[in-house]
Structure 1
């Protein structure tokens, strides 16, 4: 596993452990997230500080590790 993948996994796990509610969405090979439910302040802050600010390719790595909308 590469360093970026390891870091992405750690970020996704930490976000989810904080109660993060975002779900990944893959549409036409474009990865994004959706959030319909309120999430704890700590998870929201963690997302803004550690994930939202990543370069797009690294942020996509994290997003693909979140639970998928297709699984619901």
Structure 2
């Protein structure tokens, strides 16, 4: 199955791309996909949106999903 991946902010800079299509296996979760991308950042501060809805790492992806990984920023 195929999903569309989008990255924003530091994630896009670290990966060297903002978006791509990727073939994944049935039952792949959003968290597993993030790990498979091999982006050299800690996933602790990364949030996930699937088709415009915030999801957790255990969310199982389906064919045609658009997955956005974005950093959660803070200041102080």
TM over 0.5: no
Q: Under a length normalisation based on structure 1, what TM-score does the superposition of the two structures give?
A: 0.31
- Which of the pair is proportionally richer in helix? 1
More strand per residue: 2
